[in-house]
Structure 1
């Protein structure tokens, strides 16, 4: 017998937060009280990161100082690069990201004050793009890129990844992508980071846990699956047959549906328009295929199951990144490059929560549904007396 009570901790509130509000019924997303549409239209990733870390929008002087600190912190220790040079070129990018972040702890004196954790956060935000771009170059046997201090965070990330100077429009689009992915309350990776933070582990350990959680296909890997599906479809005329075949087989269509939103993910609305603009600019077919896939899937799920499904952040981010020339297997790393701001802010909130002076160790309960032989437990049977039937029974 299997209990589904609170499965996946759905709708179980585990902590207070001032960082993010998701209104799933109405499709609203707020960072520190600011609507995602306002931030995407008016802010930058640097300013949004400052907001998440410090709680307020910065003055010009505060933002200039924050931006300068980010630019100064982009370079990696030589030992981290050397470690990457010794990795198999077949290593998964997210695995390399985890190991590289863990090494950064070796160069930190580990003062656990709040100011030190804020400085640590700046260091991580600045270095994650350099790690990803360095690994992309190493595995491709290309020269290791140097960060460009004259470029914004978004433009520098694209410059290092693509080995070319991005134009202003593409840089701004990518900047918006980073804003949209910077924070999303207690998703799987953020929860992992906060859970580790509750043990009083240091920031780097918390972020490694978050990256590991993000690496899963059901979390950060979803837009990778979307792009692979688009490539498999290949042409708008084949969308309907492909969607019906997937649904007939009982398979999910990645990029549609969400655990929280009961309407369109607000980030998907922004990315949908971005994908359309990129298609108009480049003449690519990926927006039209994605749009048709969304339409057919919605209609078919409504007809078959009588329920509505909606686009999530992954559906259109796939074609956006592909149109920008970003390698498909780096999409989840791009997610991490954006979400690092939210992760760090959550770790700091967990470590320095106003409600209590110290972190409260996360320790959820579970419903035991395994073997039960009475109040004293099961009798241990010596090996020579166990029957074949008995050895195959029980909980496996």
Structure 2
């Protein structure tokens, strides 16, 4: 990067640094610029300026929350938030939801093309074959409290899997285990992909049955991916038990549309973790932990809790007004990416109609419809582009199917494992190898300070500057009041 020239004027960005008067030309490729190019824009430190600003080392790009920072070149998922478009490898999500299934779409996301019949048969067979768990995993799951949150169990379960497969750990088998791209490396990678997708439903079902106080079920043969999942959750020894085909299909559609959504928080977490070349089980566990948060995987649960709080349809107008006054939170509307409608919401709404034919209408449906209609007609929400998203309807389906509220995020994780693996595999095989992700910061803390002995320090008092005082009770309180020989003097 240097002085601008006429030949480089097109497909470039011309930047003038008013601090120095210098002009720089930054190339534009695929409508993006390299953040590292700004490191060449340097200036002398001003008198009295903090050395921590590192002005002489070049400009830094500040982007809190990754609002406009691209961290990877990808060929997997395309989203146009303004137009309400979602495509997997170029295929519109609407076409896939109508004509494909979850495992076929998983193949597409991971390997880049729709499989032939033979390829699909092999792929599905391997996935389902790898659903069986090691016997020791039963003891692992039984160690959780009866009321443990299923997401805590699932996150721990993914991490546990890595301990069973030392041949899958680059720390043990060499850091190029997944990055070589040769036949042996790809075979090792694919084996972990089979295991993670196959065992995702098994882990989720085990977390579910721990809460129910039931024995675990070995994955059956002859059922689909979602059929096997429902079987593992619900089978109690009945002869020739087969899940309802309408619910099985509905769950498959929901899995398909939740399989990937580009670089959301959990996918970014998987890639951030995976960039250290950790084993894929640990990376997936990290993604699971990220999705656990209420700003991500808990959104559909929040919708149901919101509808429960509203109660009847006649209470919707007062709730709408409370939202406008910022007294209430509106869940299930708007999206970080979509600024019009969420294309997945239409698919889920259609799926909901099919499910309700079998289960009966959820008592909250009328309230949801009233809220939907009121919000779509209200200028307040129209101006803010707050249209219903996928979470608004999916929670109603899960509730109608009888899943507990805190299990909703688990039903998000199981299909999203596919998207995480697709992006992880892409990063492992990217041209130029894997570079560990190391964001910069803008340091605004104290400058250099000299150490002061304890008896010479002035106390700093403040709610955020001092540890909180914790009230103790029970055995801790009694022990603190007791006297005994080994008690440390404070």
TM-score for the superposition, normalised by structure 1: 0.92
Of 328, 337, 342, the match for 2:414: 337
- Where do 1:1-396 residues align within 5 Å? 5-108=62-165, 109-110=167-168, 112=177, 113-163=185-235, 165-281=242-358, 282-300=360-378, 302-303=379-380, 306-353=383-430, 355-356=431-432, 358-371=433-446, 373=447, 377-388=448-459, 390=460, 392=462
- For 1:156 and 1:57, locate their aligned partners in 2 and report how far apart those are by CA, in whole Å: 23
Aligned partners of 1:24 and 1:260 also within 8 Å:
yes
Structure with larger RCO (C-alpha < 8 A, sep 6+): 1
Q: Judging changes above 3 Å, is the alpha-carbon distance between structure 1 residues 322 and 386 closer, same or farther for their aligned structure 2 residues?
A: same
How far is 1:166 from its partner?
A: 2.4
TM-superposed CA distance for 1:261, in Å, is 0.6
Distance in 2 between residues matched to 1:315 and 1:154, nearest whole Å: 22
Distance 1:102 1:144 in 2: 19
CA RMSD, Structure 1 to Structure 2 (Å): 2.1
Which shows bigger deviation, 73-82 or 131-140? 131-140
SS class of match (2:65): helix
Task: Go from structure 1 to structure 2 and tell me whether the alpha carbon gap of 1:75 and 1:277 turns closer, same or farther (over 3 Å shift).
Answer: same
| CA deviation vs aligned residue, 1:129-168 (integer Å, no higher than 9, x gap) | 1111112112211232232211100111122223363222
Task: Give distance in 2, aligned partners of 1:325 and 1:144.
Answer: 19
CA distance in 1, matches of 2:222, 2:78: 34
**SS in structure 2 at match of 1:310:** coil
CA distance in 2, matches of 1:312, 1:44: 21
Q: TM-score, normalised by structure 2?
A: 0.75
The superposition leaves residues 334-378 of structure 1 with CA deviations (integer Å, 9 ceiling, x where unpaired) of 10111011111111111111x21x21111111222333x4xxx12
C-alpha displacement of 1:241: 2.0
Contact 1:263-1:310 at 8 Å conserved across structures: yes
Per-residue deviation at 1:296? 2.5
Number of equivalences = 385
Q: Secondary structure at the match of 2:276?
A: coil
- For the residue of structure 2 that corresponds to 1:21, the secondary structure is strand
Indicate the structure (1 or 2) with the bigger Cα radius of gyration.
Answer: 2
Distance change >3 Å, CA 86–CA 30, structure 1 → 2: same
Shift of 1:93: 0.8
For structure 2, which runs of at least 5 residues remain unmatched after alignment? 1-60, 178-184, 236-240, 467-490
Q: Is the 8 A contact 1:279 1:285 kept in 2?
A: no
Q: 1:115: how far off?
A: 2.2
